[in-house]
Amino acid sequence: MAPVTSFYKLEAKNRRESILLVLFAIFILVLLGTLIGTAMAGDVVGALPVIIFAGLLGFGSVAGSYYVGDSAVLAATNAKPADPRRDAQLIDVVTELSLAAGIPVPKIYIIPDTALNAFATGRDKEHASLAVTQGLVDKLDREELQGVVGHELSHIRNLDIRYALLVAALVGAIVLLADIFLHSVRYWRPKGKNGAAAWLMVLLLAIFFAILAPIFARLVQMAASRQREYLADASSVELTRNPVGMEDALMKVGRDREVLEVANRATQHLYFTNPIHRFEKRSGGLFSTHPSIVDRVNRIRGLRDAPPLDVASASSLTE
């Protein structure tokens, strides 16, 4: 396992990447605002209101995600605080692994859904929350539950949670700006002798945004999630000292075909495994925010020198 000092490096890396993400996303928003405003107003001066709106949208998204983003995500999933009596085993597991990870015990929530999944959220280790579905609590044994909880606590320790919140907010802001523009096009009417050319330019720009905005959103989510998921899996094994528990948890969650209704594309990168399966109508995309469960299981098996999954076992896992 990686030495403890490496986790401080990961925290520093995530802080740097969070700052770069904010700057990049605000730059993209201002650029989009400039293009939209110039196309509709005819010059940069006329585009200033749109540029200012785009910049404020970016800064507002950052501030909102930092201070209330976790509350919004928890509210959207209808998560409720864990009950000390009913959820005693979950609270015990979270407490013991938080001590092992050297972080404060996060607030613990239950999502009233029979699907098997979990996520961690918050702006830092002192303001973190862990939410698991009722299905996960009911269907996983203690060792499997430790694997999932260890994974999510690793996201908290590495400050992946802050980065993930910023991704959700800023991607949402970019898609929102593009969506506002697409809806405004139908009501916009060009003026002057070059009206037809201006209309064509705006129409082409609208088509461009309609195609690229969702693709951009998914690509950013992928960049935010994939390597971090592999690392959190390995970190969970480091915390629990039990690769089999983590492997069994991934296998059980991977075979679950329950649909997590409260999940959506904006938040799917937050979860333990992708909550939107390929067999669902709402999946509708070529990109996954998570590495495949087969790859994750095989990496864990490699930690104990076990062979990769056989074809039958691999084919049983939902994606």
Give the DSSP per-residue string, 117-136. -EEEEESSGGGEEEEEEHHH
Alpha-helix residue ranges (DSSP H) falling in 42-159? 44-76, 88-101, 134-139, 142-157
Catalytic residue among 144, 152, 238, 247: 152
Question: Is 152 one of the catalytic residues?
Answer: yes
C-alpha–C-alpha distance, residues 95 and 146, integer Å: 11
Collapsing DSSP to helix, strand or coil, 198 comes out as helix
259 Cβ contact partners less than 8 Å away, ≥ 6 residues apart: 115, 277, 280
C-alpha–C-alpha distance, residues 266 and 168, integer Å: 6
254 Cβ contact partners less than 8 Å away, ≥ 6 residues apart: 273, 293, 294, 297, 316, 317, 318, 319
| DSSP at 140 | S
94 and 106 in contact (C-beta within 8 Å)?
Answer: yes
Point out the residues that are catalytic.
152
